[in-house]
Amino acid sequence: MLEIVYSPQWFYGIDIIFEFINVIAAILIAFFSYKVYKFTREKRCLFFGLSFIAISLSFISKILTNFQFYYNFFRKSSIINSALITVTTHKSLNFFVSAYFFHRFFMLLALTGLFFIVGKYHKRLIPLFIFFIAVITAFSTYEYFIYHVTTSLLLGYIFYHYYANYSYCKTKNTFLVAFSFFLILISQIVFINIITGIENYVLAQVIQVLGYIILLIAYIRISKNDKKNKARHN
Amino acid sequence: MTRRTKLDIINDMLVSVREKGGKIKPTHLMYKANLSYKLLNTYLEDLVKNEMMQEVKGKNDNTYLIITDKGLEFLAEFKKMREFQQSFGI
């Protein structure tokens, strides 16, 4: 059976706010990365930015899905005409499936991109990975946990590289980035455990948004540093 | 050790001038930025053309190089970019 929404009722809408914060963090980092690319002309920066664009697209797809679901949920409660409800639900199901497909596809694409950029792996493996992403996305539409197991594995590798980066260069910003990816990894592991209790969805969402807020803090610290520099020179 | 990129070399040159109080002799710059005479001239031409450095005549008709506001802006921007790359492991 296809299950789409795992959120407890009292959390409806709050998760949209959380995901909106994630989108803002991802877009700001993508924009900054593009600026770095324009300045340095290093392609890694361009692909890093594109990965974060994919993250934001993934969350936007999920926001649209949840928004549509919650809208229908609250409308269903007030509409009496059952025929209308059936039509709406049927149309919505197609929308949900495609939007969730894009949510998962973009997120897996983004994490694979980060995996290659941060890990500095060989480019030749990319087509193989894209094939796996397509297969996993298709399967994960029906098996919820496959998607989160895959994202956990990718995030595990990404976190490992960020931890190594922090060990090599112990600054507050490298720590913040490593810690944020650690939290995002934990959130994915908690998402797997939704089967054991729907409250885990709330916990996972909270941990995930904390991860993205910390990424945002790291971004703000870097851009503030620039303002300090400019002030010092003037 | 990795090779310096063009931007790294420009940054090193501008940092050298800044550390000397914004004014330096070309020979000192060559040693401080670890460059050959040929490379120094190539990059210097670029920096002067892009208004990041200026050539001025000092006492005894010696040539000095001074860093401009545009050069200082480049340094600030470059530091921010490198910090971003370092923090995000790219």
Give the chain A residue nearest B77 (alpha carbons): A226
- Top-confidence residue, A5 or A189: A189
pLDDT of residue A219: 95
Contacts of A35 (CB under 8 A, 6+ apart): B81
Cβ A5 vs Cβ A63: under 8 Å: no
CA distance A158 to chain B (A): 10
| pTM of the complete model | 0.84
Please give the structure tokens belonging to residue A23: 């989108």
What single string gives the DSSP state of each residue in B17-34? HHHTTSEE-HHHHHHHTT
CA distance A15 to A21: 10
Low-confidence residues of chain B, pLDDT below 70?
A: 1
Size of interface A-B (CB pairs under 8 A): 70
A106-117 burial code (b ≥16 CB/10 A, e <16): bbbbbbbbbbbb
Give residue-wise pLDDT tens across range A50-89.
999 999 999 999 998 887 776 666 666 555 444 444 445 5
CA distance A130 to A186: 24
Please give the structure tokens belonging to residue A229: 């520099």
Residue A44 has pLDDT above 60, yes or no: yes
Residue A182 has pLDDT above 70, yes or no: yes
pLDDT of residue A227: 53
Sheet strands side by side (includes B53-57): B23-24, B63-67, B53-57
Mean pLDDT rounded to a whole number for chain B: 91
**In chain A, pLDDT over 90 holds for what percent of residues?**
48
Crossing angle for the helix pair A172-192 and A144-168, nearest 10 degrees? 160
CA distance B14 to chain A (A): 13
